[in-house]
């Protein structure tokens, strides 16, 4: 049995233990020392501690894990010395332990610059949960705070300060934020965005003193300026905890830290050092990933396995800082001026992107992304794999994702290893192999043989795109026909339906199809017919997907959910009471949705008409939450109440929702209206989003949350309400007429040849001369609207369809529910 | 509609015919569930083919009593039903799983006489 002592129970020390017990469950006796009372926790997400108010969710592993793996965990005990000759260590309690191998993972301590007054109360460092607890207690009597240091951690600390309800000032010595990761322009952009969120940023400021009697009340800078602050969080970088090296004579790095070689061994070959305390070639690493790499190497060496060794680390990072995407990779700053830079800047949207490319224009060397880091993974892969750049490298940073075949989101750009189906872990390479190698040409066959898209199904459109793109490359003619029953694309069928005045599935399949339809073409045709005529969909209930057939969303167990329309999210107390009463009467599980509505779940099929009858009598309408249709138009409170609001976003949202309610489309449509650019309604994540400006409204289109989030892009700026509605009419009708089945607007726009430019031409400049026609077609649908639940409630024949057995009034006897937090839930499957 | 009797191999002399419901209780080209002898059975009126089918109501994928609310259609000549939960499809004539990743389902003989639908249970 080899005795391994690990000094330090932080993230890296923990990772070492985890890797060692996985690699060699026998043969090592591990003892871990941690100074803090708690076992190792995730320090990277420390600011989330406020949300949980408990360290439990942040723990890397509970105490029990150490017990189960026969690891002795000694917390609240500090190791104070190493006796290398005796191969032992001594703790502050005077206890001595022997080792065969010693692992130093002592981490680092926040660097506190020698500023006069830094010992006053109110001055904190940001490192441990104890620091956070102390800060939070103190903050209860404070209003303003300052953070010393505008780096990664400093900005995280500023978020913590904001979360504590404090006014927060960030003070940075360098002339820019995140000086190691960002250039000046990137910093400017980040600064502007953070300031618009209420943070105060002070750059090129050197602190002279922290002032106040016993407790601090203000700070003075070397330029004579002063800032009132009752609290200060110091986040000026880290110092390795290398004091154990001093007495024991372990060699140190030039700038501190315990010197290690490629095998993570210190100058004593029985002692390893890993994580922030280790100095490799004079560098210490304050990120967790290099620490984990070192832990891997140490375990490999200790167990006699092959190891690649530690040869330095990439400092690339991508993170969300207070909601802003920031990424920096490779040689981001190009301080040696060896490369050429391509820069994209959109001050309106708060986006800055820069890539550095080699002088010959062939390779990507590094870059910076602020405000939108959605293509970080692609760029990072491109750099790591030394991929040759596309002929127009500016496409890498320009927002060209909507411009047809340009770089961006097209499936061609994805590397072979990209995981397409996360349920079944199917890569793009595996799909391409099935198509090219095994000759699969049908979507259904591709799903069967690769299993892609057979789990949750969210990747199906992407699988289909890969099929089309690959077949195209193989020189095969590809037409996205609906299925084996219709040799037409959706767009062609839409035109056939309109031109020939077709109103039923039976007529369409008789005239233009073959066979008897299937679960693919029936709902697609149902959607086309609804988008063309907006008739009552229940006239052909058996071609509707189950949600549309029963006008409710099917849930586990076979019950349904009920979501009445609450336009713009505005509701009277009277109506709220009705919803509550209905929920209580029918024992429904109630939940607020993401779209500012109320979902009542667990309704039996036979209860649906009764429930809706009560809701309709109280003035509610169907919310179409079950349909590929307009869902909600979210809104912020707008200028009626909000001190920042420019226009009345609630009224406009209600107007929009009332106009497009019941509109059926190839997929669901969501919208939102924000009363100012703070964007509380999250309009940029919607199929069409509207944001108030000083002069009118900005209309954005093609946004998407969900599996592949995408921001909406500006279609038209500073327009009035009427123009805005005209453009939305045109945009939606154009989408409805030309999109493939089950493509959201974002997917449709990504594939649209000519992209955003073309869309602007059609919608804004009316290049096809069909603007008026599109508006008229929309008007027809708007006028044909009727609440479909109202029609069911008032029609006995339709009502009769809502039951489980046709030969018995009984409900489904197999329905079973559990209780969770005082409400019912279906039993799991 | 002409009453039509299925002469599948499961139909033997020991089959007991049970009254399920009337023809008009089932939507055209769609299904509904009947409760017969303590069993939930999905019955489909495939009027486009002038055929009737009956199978277990439970989808074997997640054991949900739901197939009667499924959508029917054809795959080549094979009549099929798709489960509304995850679109697993099954042959209505043989009960075979057409996706190949779930168990097969039980089918039952069915016949329609004078506007009344009967299910055969053995």
Of the ranges A434-443, A758-767, A818-827, B104-113, which one carries the lowest mean pLDDT score? A434-443
Contact A807, B25 (CB under 8 A): yes
Q: What is the pLDDT of residues B13-54, one digit of tens each?
A: 578 899 999 999 999 999 999 999 999 999 999 999 999 999
Confirm or reject contact between B116 and chain A (CB < 8 A). no
**Which distant-in-sequence residues (6+ apart) come within 8 Å of A335 by Cβ?**
none
> Smallest CA–CA separation between A624 and chain B, in Å?
18
Query: pLDDT category, A458, cuts 50, 70, 90?
Result: low
Q: Which residues of A touch B35 (CB under 8 A)?
A: 805, 807-808, 810
Chain A residue closest in CA terms to B73: A518
* Cβ <8 Å between B84 and A545: yes
Q: If you ran DSSP here, which 8-state letter would residue B95 be given?
A: -
Chain A residue closest in CA terms to B89: A519
Question: For B65, which of A454, A546, A812 is closest by C-beta distance?
Answer: A812
* Cβ <8 Å between B28 and A484: no
* Cβ <8 Å between B48 and A506: yes
The whole-angstrom separation of Cα A425 and Cα A636 is: 39
CA distances from A17 to A8, A23, A29, A71 (A): 11, 10, 11, 8
* Cβ <8 Å between A807 and B36: yes
pLDDT score, position A65? 93
> Smallest CA–CA separation between A266 and chain B, in Å?
55
SS (H, E, C) A374-421: CCHHHHHHHHHCCCCCCCCHHHHCCCCCCCCCCCCCCHHHCCCCCEEE
Chain A residue closest in CA terms to B85: A554
pLDDT score, position A417? 79
pLDDT > 80? residue A700: yes
Confirm or reject contact between B66 and chain A (CB < 8 A). yes
SS (H, E, C) A72-114: EEEECCCEEEEECCCCEEEECCCCEEECCEEEECCCEEECCCC
* Cβ <8 Å between B69 and A550: yes
Question: For A808, which of B28, B35, B46 is closest by C-beta distance?
Answer: B35
Confirm or reject contact between A554 and chain B (CB < 8 A). yes
Contact A224, A211 (CB under 8 A): no
Concatenate the DSSP letters of all residues of A444-465 into one string: HHHHHHH-TTSSS-TTHHHHHH
Confirm or reject contact between A801 and chain B (CB < 8 A). yes
Residue in the structure block whose two tokens are 């209580």: A584
Contact A632, A669 (CB under 8 A): no
* Cβ <8 Å between B35 and A805: yes
Confirm or reject contact between B39 and chain A (CB < 8 A). no
Chain A residue closest in CA terms to B117: A807
* Cβ <8 Å between B82 and A804: no
Number of cross-chain residue pairs from A and B with Cβ atoms under 8 Å apart = 100
Q: Say what the pTM is.
A: 0.55
The angle at the Cα of A801, spanning A797 to A807, to the nearest 5 degrees, equals 110
ipTM: 0.88
Q: Which residues of A touch B67 (CB under 8 A)?
A: none
Mean residue pLDDT across chain A: 90
Buried b (16+ CB within 10 A) or exposed e, A592-603: ebebbbbbbbbb
pLDDT > 50? residue B11: no
* Cβ <8 Å between B70 and A557: no
Question: For A522, which of B21, B73, B89 is closest by C-beta distance?
Answer: B73
Question: For A558, which of B64, B75, B86 is closest by C-beta distance?
Answer: B64
* Cβ <8 Å between B33 and A554: no
Q: What is the pLDDT of residues A370-402, one digit of tens each?
A: 998 877 767 877 787 677 787 778 878 875 444
Provide the percentage of residues in chain A whose pLDDT is more than 70.
Answer: 97
Question: For A807, which of B35, B74, B79 is closest by C-beta distance?
Answer: B35
What are all long-range contacts of B65-68, with beta carbons under 8 Å and residues at least 24 apart?
B65/A558, B65/A812, B65/A814, B65/B33, B65/B40, B66/A554, B66/A558, B67/B31, B67/B42, B67/B105, B68/B31, B68/B32, B68/B33, B68/B40, B68/B42, B68/B43, B68/B44
pLDDT > 90? residue B81: yes
pLDDT score, position A409? 47
pLDDT > 80? residue A611: yes
Q: Which residues of B touch A805 (CB under 8 A)?
A: 32-35, 40
Q: Which residues of B touch A558 (CB under 8 A)?
A: 64-66, 69
Mean residue pLDDT across chain B: 89
Q: What is the pLDDT of residues A474-485, one digit of tens each?
A: 888 777 788 999
* Secondary structure element (H or E) that encloses residue A201, with its range: strand A200-202
The whole-angstrom separation of Cα A279 and Cα A310 is: 11
Mutation target to probe the B interface, by most B beta carbons within 10 A, among A539, A796, A807, A813 is A807
pLDDT score, position B50? 94
Q: Which residues of B touch A557 (CB under 8 A)?
A: 64
CA distances from A738 to A494, A671, A741, B79 (A): 8, 20, 9, 31
Contact A819, A621 (CB under 8 A): no
Q: What is the pLDDT of residues A173-192, one digit of tens each?
A: 999 999 889 999 999 999 99
């Amino acid at each position: 049995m080899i005795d391994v002592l690990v000094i330090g129970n932080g993230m890296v020390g923990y990772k070492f233990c985890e890797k060692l017990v996985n690699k060699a469950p026998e043969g090592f006796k591990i003892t871990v020392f941690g100074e803090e009372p708690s076992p190792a926790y995730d320090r990277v997400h420390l600011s989330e501690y406020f949300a949980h108010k408990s360290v439990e969710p942040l723990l890397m592993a509970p105490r029990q894990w150490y017990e189960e793996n026969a690891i002795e965990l000694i917390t609240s005990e500090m190791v104070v010395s190493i006796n290398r000759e005796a191969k032992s260590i001594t703790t502050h309690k005077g206890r001595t332990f022997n080792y065969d191998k010693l692992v130093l993972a002592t981490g680092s301590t926040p660097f506190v610059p020698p500023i006069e007054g830094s010992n006053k109360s109110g001055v904190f460092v940001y490192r441990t949960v104890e620091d956070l607890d102390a800060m939070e207690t103190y903050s209860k009597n404070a209003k303003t705070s300052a953070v010393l240091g505008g780096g990664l951690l400093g900005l995280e600390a500023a978020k913590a300060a904001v979360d504590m309800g404090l006014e927060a000032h960030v003070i940075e010595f360098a002339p820019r934020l995140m000086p190691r990761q960002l250039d000046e322009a990137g910093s400017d952009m980040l600064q502007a965005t953070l300031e618009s969120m209420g943070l105060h940023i002070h750059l090129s400021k050197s602190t002279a003193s922290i002032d106040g009697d016993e407790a601090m009340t203000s700070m003075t800078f070397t330029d004579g300026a002063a800032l009132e602050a009752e609290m200060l969080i110091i986040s000026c970088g880290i110092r390795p905890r290398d004091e154990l090296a001093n007495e024991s004579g372990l060699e140190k790095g030039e700038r501190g830290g315990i010197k290690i070689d490629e095998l993570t061994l210190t100058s004593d070959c029985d002692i390893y050092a890993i994580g922030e305390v280790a100095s490799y070639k004079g560098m210490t690493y304050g990120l967790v990933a290099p620490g984990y790499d070192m832990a891997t190497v140490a375990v490999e060496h200790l167990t006699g396995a092959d190891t690649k060794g530690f040869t330095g680390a990439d400092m690339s990072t991508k993170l969300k800082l207070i909601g802003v995407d920031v990424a920096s990779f490779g040689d981001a700053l190009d301080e040696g001026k060896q490369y050429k830079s391509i820069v994209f800047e959109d001050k309106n949207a708060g986006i800055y992107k820069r890539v550095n490319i080699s002088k010959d224009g062939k390779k990507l060397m590094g870059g910076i992304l602020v405000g939108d880091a959605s293509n970080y993974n692609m760029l990072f892969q491109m750099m790591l794999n030394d991929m040759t750049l596309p002929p127009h490298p500016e496409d890498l940073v320009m927002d060209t994702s909507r411009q047809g075949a340009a770089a961006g989101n097209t499936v061609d750009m994805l590397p072979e290893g990209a995981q397409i189906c996360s349920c079944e872990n199917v890569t793009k390479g595996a799909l391409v192999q099935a198509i090219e190698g095994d000759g699969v040409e049908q979507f259904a066959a591709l799903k069967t043989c690769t299993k892609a898209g057979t789990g949750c199904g969210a990747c199906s459109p992407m699988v289909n795109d890969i099929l089309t793109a690959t077949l195209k490359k193989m020189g095969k003619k590809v037409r996205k026909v609906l299925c084996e029953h219709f040799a037409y694309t959706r767009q062609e069928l839409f035109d056939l339906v309109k031109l020939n005045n077709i109103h039923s599935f039976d007529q369409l399949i008789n005239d233009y199809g073959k066979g008897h339809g299937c679960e693919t073409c029936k709902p697609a045709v149902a959607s086309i017919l609804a988008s063309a005529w907006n008739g009552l969909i229940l006239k052909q209930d058996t071609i509707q997907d189950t949600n549309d057939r029963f006008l409710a969303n099917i849930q586990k167990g076979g019950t349904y959910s009920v979501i009445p329309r609450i336009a713009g999210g505005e509701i009277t107390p009277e109506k709220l009471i009705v919803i509550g009463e209905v929920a209580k009467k029918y024992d429904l599980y109630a939940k607020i949705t993401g779209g500012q509505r109320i979902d009542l779940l667990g309704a039996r099929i036979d209860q649906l008409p009764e429930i809706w009858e009560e809701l309709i009598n109280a003035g509610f309408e169907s919310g179409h939450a079950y349909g590929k249709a307009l869902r909600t138009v979210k809104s912020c409170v707008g200028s009626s109440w909000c001190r920042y609001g420019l226009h009345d976003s609630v009224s406009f949202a209600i107007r929009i929702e009332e106009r497009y309610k019941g509109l059926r489309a190839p997929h669901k449509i969501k919208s939102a209206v924000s009363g100012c650019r703070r964007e509380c309604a999250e309009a940029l994540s919607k199929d069409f989003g509207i944001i108030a400006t000083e002069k009118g409204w900005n209309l954005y289109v093609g946004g998407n949350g969900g599996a592949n989030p995408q921001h909406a892009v500006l279609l038209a700026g500073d327009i009035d309400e009427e123009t805005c509605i005209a453009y939305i009419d045109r945009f939606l009708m154009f989408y409805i007429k030309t999109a493939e089945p089950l493509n959201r607007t974002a997917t449709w726009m990504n594939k649209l040849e000519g992209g955003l430019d073309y869309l602007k031409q059609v919608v804004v400049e009316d290049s096809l001369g069909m603007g008026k026609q599109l508006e008229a077609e929309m008007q027809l649908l708007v006028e044909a609207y009727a609440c479909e639940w109202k029609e069911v409630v008032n029609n006995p024949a339709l009502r009769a369809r809502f039951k489980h057995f046709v030969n018995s009034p009984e409900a489904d006897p197999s329905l079973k529910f559990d209780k969770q937090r005082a409400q019912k839930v279906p039993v799991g499957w | 509609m002409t009453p039509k009797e299925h002469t599948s191999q499961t139909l033997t002399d020991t089959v007991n015919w049970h009254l399920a419901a009337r023809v008009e209780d089932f939507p055209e080209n769609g299904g509904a569930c009947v409760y017969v002898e303590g069993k939930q059975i999905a019955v489909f009126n495939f009027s486009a083919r002038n055929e009737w089918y009956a199978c277990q109501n439970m989808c074997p994928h997640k054991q949900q009593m739901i197939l009667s609310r499924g959508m029917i259609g054809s795959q080549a000549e094979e009549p099929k039903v798709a489960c509304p939960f995850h679109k697993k499809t099954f042959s209505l004539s043989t009960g075979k799983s057409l996706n190949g990743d779930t168990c097969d389902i039980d089918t039952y003989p069915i016949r329609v006489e004078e506007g009344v639908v009967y299910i055969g249970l053995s």
